[in-house]
Chain A
């Protein structure tokens, strides 16, 4: 069930890497709309977003849902990024640990609910 998502995310990681390494100059593209990854069966879209510290955010959206606009996705990523940096600020947080911040979780949940 969730494995499918994990698989999807992993495959998208490859594509992200490909994109990131392809850029020769210092274009730090904050976001990449990755509408290409749309399997006929899977029927979803994957959006990638890379931060300056190479932390990647991947959003998987079900296409049956009214397509989210690009701006919406961007705003979602922005919020994600903001929350993420806030979590990072916490000196007690070791980068790499699963994020346990309630604030972060609530933000993410609210965002997801918002789009549904």
Chain B
């Protein structure tokens, strides 16, 4: 085993534990008995424990010697903090919280841990966790407690374990008793270094007293969470002081026995993410949300949220920071999730936690995409501010995967012409947004408002669900989609996924669904191409990946073979979208995006011809009717960009016209989907033809894409009505068109898609080449500079 370096505290702690286990006083501990207890108390899964024992060599020796035991304890700490178990981590991991052992152990152990944990400053969780309890105290509207804020804190601190335990009262109801308990507890446990607590407390005491006197709003409801907060810190080191654990502590408290409460608390907090919101807290937050905004799916405008959080008496700068973190979609308003996250951060801050630089994963607003949950929908409705890639990456979840990275890449690619379209489009978007944003960041504009460019799977879903005409910040949806998938790449993948989802979920006939799937995908792809700026990342991300194999020849697709078509189309768009997008597609739940799919499909063919390079319009395409407004905005944006739009407009109409006949031809073949498609394309050619109603989602998609191309802020209704008309006409088109024509068209489409994908790839590669050349030049220069020196 590696040599194990322990800090002093750890040393003490471990030796205590060892002594505890070493009941035989043989200086080595058997692997059974106490050791088992301890390990069980560590709340680690069985296999982890097994792994630990193996790592520390106990299995080898058959028992735990002192060193093995220490190693095991350290590994437990590692595992508890979520790090992979590795031998190297023993010594490399600094600031490792002490291993936590919960109830299984005796209280003493817990106390030990608590004590040690308290005294240790656990790195990851930054900063000493001041005794939240103090905070909690204050929060409660305890008449008695007003005086105590400072006192209990000091007292409470020492008792890390006991205070937690003692307050076995329901937080809101018995703050007093809680306080008293705390005090009592403090008396009990003198191990805790009061110093830490004291220092921490005093500031809190002051803050606490303020709130106590103050805020109706904050006190009772807050108590619960506050209390819980306070409880946990004493009990465990920072890791244990998770809000979740706090919550649990509250529940525990309510339950009762003081002694065990602490341990229980520890247990609960062991594996909690420090930022996780427990159910209790969430409920509380939801209630608070309701007081401001009765509709849980609605948004809280920024001004209301500002007032609300100002009541918490945090400095404006911190509140501003919290806002930046929690307003995921940057729309100037908070959805339920965002609100909960913000509230949670405020609570944490008040309890002494430092604000994170990035939003913790557990606080990320849930992306609606998969579940149709209503939460996100509204977010989309907020005024959309363009989400800069930079912002997205920097602000949002740290776990954002490559998407974020693709953003910077994309930005760099701005120099390229191909990408410049995108950037210019984003610029226009920005322009658009700025029009609205400064004016009214808080209002949820329901109609053509600049939409965020962030990919929004959620948007799409929301849109579908909600069908609201409000603008969404598409960008928000991406955030929503998944914490990791923040960047606009999400949009693309999301759109694709949605497309797939839509097709599936549409409930069309199998063939229909397939075809629609294809269409949306292709449509999305084309959209992207045609609309610059929205999904640069997607393209970027995909750049390195080789384009997917061209879709299978779709010649003579019959209804029965729609599956194939589907797949082939899917392949195509995926390829075009590039790997990043494709990756997302599977992940996205089959959110019906019929509109998008069909719409995009039509466009795809057209766009493929016209626009070689990108334009990321996927997000726009994705949203369905509800996103109608959004689309129109996007289109508005797109149109604003003279270079892009001109091309697009010119191209799209042409393309559409060209594709129309094909579309019409195709429709008969493909059934409703094709019909939808053609109507869409037809519509597109016509321009602002309204999209068909939901059943014709693909068509709608088309319209949308059309809209995007042309700044068209028409209402959904108008479009839908027109679309319906078109649809009917389409339906009437005889389906007698030869299958081979359709097949030919399909293959043409596919080829076009491939072309666009390849073009994009080409542009990206060119950019890379350019970058490399620059590097080479710089290196050569350096070399030259150094050469003279070499002669010396």
Contacts and interface: CB of A to CB of B under 8 A. Distances in A.
B323 A71 contact: no
B431 A93 contact: no
Contact of B390 (A30, A88, A90, A110): A110
B427 A86 contact: no
Interface in B244-294: none
A93 B441 CA distance: 11
Interface of A is mostly: helix
A75 B431 contact: no
Nearest to A87: B324
A85 B385 contact: yes
B629 to A, nearest CB: 19
A28 to B, nearest CB: 7
B324 A52 contact: no
Contacts of A72: 414-415
B427 A89 contact: no
B324 A103 contact: yes
Nearest to A72: B415
B719 interface: no
A112 interface: no
B387 A82 contact: yes
Interface stretch (A8-16, A39-47, A94-102): A94-102
Nearest to A54: B438
Nearest to A110: B390
Given A85-B385, A89-B385, A91-B332, A107 B390 contact: yes
B411 interface: yes
Interface of B is mostly: helix
A53 B442 contact: no
A86 B323 contact: no
Given A86-B388, A91-B332, A100-B317, A75 B414 contact: yes
B320 interface: yes
B414 A86 contact: no
Given A90-B320, A92-B316, A83 B388 contact: yes
B391 A74 contact: no
B438 A90 contact: no
B437 A89 contact: yes
B431 A89 contact: no
A97 to B, nearest CB: 9
Interface string B424-441: 101110110111011101
A106 interface: yes
Contact of B423 (A55, A75, A110): A75
A4 interface: no
Contacts of B331: 89
Nearest to A93: B320
A79 interface: yes
A103 B389 CA distance: 12
Interface size of A as a range: 35 or more
Interface in B18-33: none
Contacts of A53: 434-435, 438-439
A78 B420 CA distance: 12
Given A91-B306, A91-B442, A101-B324, A85 B434 contact: yes
Given A51-B438, A55-B438, A81-B434, A100 B320 contact: yes
Interface string B510-523: 00000000000000
Contacts of B386: 81-82, 85
A69 interface: yes
A50 B720 CA distance: 38
Contacts of A86: 324, 330, 385, 387-388, 391, 395
Interface string B301-323: 11101100110000011011101
A82 B430 contact: yes
B320 A82 contact: no
B305 A91 contact: yes
Interface in B377-398: 385-391, 394-395
A110 B390 CA distance: 9
A101 B36 CA distance: 50
B327 interface: yes
Given A53-B438, A85-B433, A102-B357, A78 B388 contact: yes
B762 to A, nearest CB: 18
A51 B430 CA distance: 9
Given A52-B435, A82-B390, A92-B306, A74 B395 contact: no
11 contacts: A30-B431, A55-B438, A79-B389, A82-B387, A85-B437, A85-B438, A86-B385, A88-B437, A90-B324, A92-B306, A92-B310
Interface of B: 301-303, 305-306, 309-310, 316-317, 319-321, 323-324, 327, 330-332, 357, 385-391, 394-395, 411, 414-415, 420, 423-424, 426-428, 430-431, 433-435, 437-439, 441-442
9 smallest CB-CB distances across A and B, nearest first, come from A82-B388, A91-B302, A91-B306, A53-B438, A75-B414, A92-B320, A89-B332, A71-B415, A85-B385
